[in-house]
Structure 1
Amino acid sequence: MNYHEFLLFAGLAIVCAFWLPRFVSGREPASSSLLILAGAAVALAIADPPPLFDPVADPEWWEILSEMAVIVALFATGMRLDVVRPFSRWRATGRLLLVAMPLTIGAMCLVGLAAGWPLASALLLGAVLAPTDPVLAGDVQVGPPTEGGEHPVRFALTAEAGLNDGLAFPFVYLAIAAIAGLTASEAVTWAGYDLVYRILAGVVVGAACGWLLGQVVFRWPGHNVLAETGSGVLALAGVLVCYGATEFVHGYGFIACFVGGLVFRRVEEEHAFHSDLHLFNLAIEHALTAVLLLMTGAALGTYLALVTWEHVAIAAVLVFVVRPLFGWLSLAGTNLDPRERWVTAAFGVRGIGSIYYLAFAAGSVAAMPHVGELWMVVLVTIAMSAAVHGLTAGAVLSRIRADEAENEDRHTSAPGPEPEPVR
């Protein structure tokens, strides 16, 4: 398959993936699964798959495309949050980040060890698969800016996806260091530099960039603000500034992009320009995601003979056991009712972020043990998550919207206090 043939295939596959579900339902979540299936079908149909379909041998393009998709999605995720106070709204998110994610990393590390992998590769497996995805999880997250209706489940999943991609990075670096042979002094350096400094740098630089960008767009000069131009490309500019500046000082750019979008939105929370920026970011995000899903399916088709029951079992353990179990346990004591806890715990969508982490690690280590096995598990996990979560997200979202409408009706119809009698 040459370059132009790939373009033809990609265009037709994307159109069909979004068009065909219309014959069955008004919802589009199934498009993710259809894109993966289309990629697998074309890889199986051609005799000589191109290098782009082989991330084990050539992960560079996978890293570049997934990195751009994730940072665009993270900035947009930060912008979408309408109400961030009181801070008690973040309680469920904090539990998912500080309890569920480390437990997931540990559990998947144990699964890797049980499969016979060395400790470093097992740790990388846990780190790569731990974060939920800000790209593919959009269907169960909050809506566009100023739309409102931020159900606690949607808020928790959105905020979690915005932060845990960056918070998984220290464990990826730890696994890379362990592959090279981690010493005691290097472990101390990792704790101080990779775990503490780079997270703090991501938060501080992201907040500073978001605030400065907000002043440039909404405040300076006051008589002719840039927001009046309606140019959505400023959203991409904000992403690039936050990410580039943070990486320049060796912070975590993923964290910076989410925090930057969050702080940028706070400068002028209700300005209509946020909708323009969101639509522009969304178009870029969807385009890159569609291509990456086609590549994921194509890689699965290319490697189909190498996929074993162990790869499927590891993916199933994460999707059906580890994430739901630890998500449920971590949310104990929050203000979510049992059904909301279950939905929040179960919808830990895996996707583009896992591709980036593995491609990054593969490009950072000259000879990574079990790299092929890691790719098989990640690709199978993404396909399984796209099928399970994508095909059920519409129904879950409908239920959440019904709950939101019911709560709103109950609030508006509640009787007010009786007037005092006239004396």
Structure 2
Amino acid sequence: MESAPLFALIGGLGIGSQWLAWRLQIPAIVMMLFAGVLAGPVFGLVDPEAAFGDLFRPMVSIAVAVILFEGGLTLNFSQLRTTGLAVRRLVIFGAPLAWAFSTLAARYAGGLSWESATVLGGILIVTGPTVIIPLLRQARLAPRPASLLRWEAIVNDPVGALAAVLAFEVITAVYGAGTLGEAAKHLALGISVAAVAGYAGGWVLAQGFRRGMVPEYMKVPVLFGMVLAVYASTDSLLHESGLLAVTIMGVYLANAHLPSLDEIRRFKEHVTVILVSGVFILLAANLDVAMITGLTYKAALFVIAIVFVARPLAVWLSLSGTGLSREEKVITAWIGPRGVVAVAVAGLFGTRLEQLGIADGAQLAPLAFVLVTATVILHGFSIVPLSRLLGLTSTEKPGVLIVGSSPWAVQLGEALKAAEIPSLIADRNWFRLRAARQSDIRVYHGEILSEAAEHTVDMNRYGLLLAASDNDAYNALVCTDFAPEFGRGNVVQIGRHTDGENERDLPVTLGGRSIGKGKTYGEIESAVRDGWSFRVTALSEEYTLKTYMEDRPEADVWAIVRKSGSLEIVRGKEEFRAQAGDSIIALVPQKARKEEPPEAGEGQGG
């Protein structure tokens, strides 16, 4: 196949697999593995070695360099300090223990040499956040173990890659030098060159961004160019030091407190999705059928040793004395699926080890694929029943995620709090969130559609989403994006502005249904200025829904809190029912509030 159609096929398979996995709500790695194996070993549509020749390995190396840089960008030390003792123990003690135990498993169960086992052990520290986070949503795990697993995956992503790079640097130094002393000098030189280059690259970027020397539209291209420049220059000066350099540069930028961090995050979210997809398809397609079919019982022993011994032992030892319950330690020790980064780095380093004369380096990629497949299946199917068995399924009422902060959104949050329904208000403007913070309502400062929000916000605590910004297009985008995750019936937005036949109006097929009577942002804002507010009214045998509506003919009912404690949104102008024991959350005028009968059992949320 010619290069252009081949690139199109690889891109289509990679991005298509990511999209299909998103639609089906399954880990993307499963779909990419399936697509790559079908395109390569099964049907022979993609043969990377034959198609790209000598360029194949450099292409994979550059892609892995960008992936490692992205991993470094997630390692924010200030966030690590605020994550709690258990997460810090999992990183500081758990990562080295996992490296040691995984190395022993690869050596004695997998039958690898010490060199290959050490590199693979470092790689297996990583538990992919792209796999963990969907599993946590699926299981509705209790907040503490869910937070622990999520933060371990985020922080250990770059730590594992860094460990693998260091292990490979040591092996390269030993094999490239005649004596142990020369190997030590080579290793020290490699780490020094990588550290200086990574720090210098990060410093130059940070200074350029801070001083306005790079225009906004050029920041992402300049960032990408700097990653390539640091990798290529460092690697040409001292072979194999480029990967370590770009990882250090990512860590530096993550902790540089840049005002342009949003642009950097956008870069890593968009570019790395493309690169990860492409690299994974290429590596899966490049798998040797003979190597896969030639895997012996040792591959099964290796998986068993990692899943049932190495991971549980490392987690249990590192979490001793943290105050976690036995059940929380069990679920944390069991859930540890590996992701795309593990396979990508294993595929690259396996080839490099072969080039150094370590023959079993070729087994790293197949073993990584086998382990990823096994852990995704095992942990994906077991997390729900195990969390229920251990009593770790969250008992907190599903809350409401409100996107867009405003005075009336804060009133709504207070009304929800009065009804004992948790809520979170998200907004990109810190100043707008001030009133919510003062009212002790949970807030998220940042872009709710970003990967950072996916890592930071515990989405399994929220069962309903209300898009309430002053931008109709943004509200529709939020609802469309979150509909597969929350369910289309659980995403709503405030009413849209419409100009009749205006061709710029958004299609009704995009976004969510309107909440309540479909008031627009401006109409709600105007009503609140005129004295309207959100109220929570309890119904009883004497004070029925009919009586309520007679007392408040103008009331705009947004939600019903059922007697059981569950919350139901009133969508559009649909009819709704409520009975004794239920409560009504509605936007009501000042006059209606003054005339409320005392027996209504009503409380205001504002």
How big is the shift at 1:140?
Answer: 4.2
Q: Indicate the larger mover: 334-343 or 122-131.
A: 334-343
Query: What is the rounded CA distance, in whole Å, between the counterparts of 1:205 and 1:247 in structure 2?
Result: 10
Structure 2 residue 336 is the aligned partner of structure 1 residue 347? yes
Query: What is the rounded CA distance, in whole Å, between the counterparts of 2:176 and 2:97 in structure 1?
Result: 28
Matches within 5 A, 1:158-177: 158-175=154-171
Q: 1:74 aligns with which of 68, 82, 90?
A: 68
Q: 2:243 aligns with which of 239, 254, 258?
A: 254
Q: Indicate the larger mover: 91-100 or 78-87.
A: 78-87
Match of residue 497 from structure 2: none
How big is the shift at 1:214?
Answer: 0.2
SS at match of 1:226: coil
Distance of aligned partners of 1:315 and 1:6 in 2 relative to their CA distance in 1, 3 Å threshold: farther
How big is the shift at 1:36?
Answer: 1.1
Match of residue 278 from structure 1: 265
AA aligned to 1:308 is T
Distance of aligned partners of 1:403 and 1:151 in 2 relative to their CA distance in 1, 3 Å threshold: farther
Match of residue 239 from structure 1: 227
Match of residue 305 from structure 1: 293
Match of residue 101 from structure 1: 99
Could you list the per-position Cα deviations for residues 273-302 of structure 1 after superposition, in whole angstroms to 9, with x for gaps in the alignment?
322222223222122221222233324473
Query: What is the rounded CA distance, in whole Å, between the counterparts of 1:193 and 1:404 in structure 2?
Result: 56
Query: What is the rounded CA distance, in whole Å, between the counterparts of 1:407 and 1:326 in structure 2?
Result: 36
Contact 1:315 1:384 in 2 (8 A): yes
Match of residue 207 from structure 2: 215
Match of residue 478 from structure 2: none
How big is the shift at 1:216?
Answer: 1.0
Q: Which has the higher strand share?
A: 2
Distance of aligned partners of 1:132 and 1:329 in 2 relative to their CA distance in 1, 3 Å threshold: same
AA aligned to 1:206 is G
SS at match of 2:150: helix
Match of residue 206 from structure 1: 198
How big is the shift at 1:100?
Answer: 2.4
Query: What is the rounded CA distance, in whole Å, between the counterparts of 2:315 and 2:307 in structure 1?
Result: 11
Could you list the per-position Cα deviations for residues 240-266 of structure 1 after superposition, in whole angstroms to 9, with x for gaps in the alignment?
344345446648443432332232244
Match of residue 520 from structure 2: none
Identity over aligned pairs, percent: 16
Distance of aligned partners of 1:334 and 1:255 in 2 relative to their CA distance in 1, 3 Å threshold: farther
Q: 1:329 aligns with which of 317, 320, 330?
A: 317
AA aligned to 1:67 is S
Could you list the per-position Cα deviations for residues 40-99 of structure 1 after superposition, in whole angstroms to 9, with x for gaps in the alignment?
2233543x67642689xx996564344323322333333345562675854431213333
SS at match of 1:267: coil
AA aligned to 1:10 is I
Query: What is the rounded CA distance, in whole Å, between the counterparts of 2:331 and 2:50 in structure 1?
Result: 37
The structure whose Rg is larger is: 2
Query: What is the rounded CA distance, in whole Å, between the counterparts of 1:193 and 1:360 in structure 2?
Result: 17
Query: What is the rounded CA distance, in whole Å, between the counterparts of 2:23 and 2:323 in structure 1?
Result: 39
Match of residue 14 from structure 1: 14
Distance of aligned partners of 1:13 and 1:403 in 2 relative to their CA distance in 1, 3 Å threshold: farther
Distance of aligned partners of 1:40 and 1:101 in 2 relative to their CA distance in 1, 3 Å threshold: same
Query: What is the rounded CA distance, in whole Å, between the counterparts of 1:197 and 1:281 in structure 2?
Result: 29
How big is the shift at 1:31?
Answer: 2.2
How big is the shift at 1:215?
Answer: 0.5
Query: What is the rounded CA distance, in whole Å, between the counterparts of 2:192 and 2:423 in structure 1?
Result: 38
Q: 2:115 aligns with which of 91, 115, 123?
A: 123
Which of 1 and 2 has higher RCO (CA within 8 Å, sep 6+)?
Answer: 1
SS at match of 1:168: helix
Match of residue 156 from structure 1: 152
Q: 1:33 aligns with which of 30, 34, 50?
A: 30
Query: What is the rounded CA distance, in whole Å, between the counterparts of 2:131 and 2:318 in structure 1?
Result: 23
Query: What is the rounded CA distance, in whole Å, between the counterparts of 2:245 and 2:383 in structure 1?
Result: 28
Relative to the length of structure 2, the TM-score reads: 0.52
Could you list the per-position Cα deviations for residues 198-239 of structure 1 after superposition, in whole angstroms to 9, with x for gaps in the alignment?
4455444423321221001112xxxx4425446321331332
Distance of aligned partners of 1:229 and 1:34 in 2 relative to their CA distance in 1, 3 Å threshold: closer
Contact 2:195 2:245 in 1 (8 A): yes
Relative to the length of structure 1, the TM-score reads: 0.70
Q: 1:288 aligns with which of 270, 275, 281?
A: 275
Contact 2:198 2:249 in 1 (8 A): yes
Give the total of aligned pairs. Answer: 380
Contact 1:109 1:123 in 2 (8 A): no
Match of residue 496 from structure 2: none
Q: Which has the higher helix share?
A: 1
Distance of aligned partners of 1:168 and 1:81 in 2 relative to their CA distance in 1, 3 Å threshold: closer
Unaligned runs of 5+ in 2: 134-145, 388-392, 400-421, 426-438, 443-606
Unaligned runs of 5+ in 1: 142-149, 415-423
Could you list the per-position Cα deviations for residues 397-419 of structure 1 after superposition, in whole angstroms to 9, with x for gaps in the alignment?
xx89x89988989x9479xxxxx
Structure 2 residue 78 is the aligned partner of structure 1 residue 84? yes
Q: 2:371 aligns with which of 377, 381, 388?
A: 381
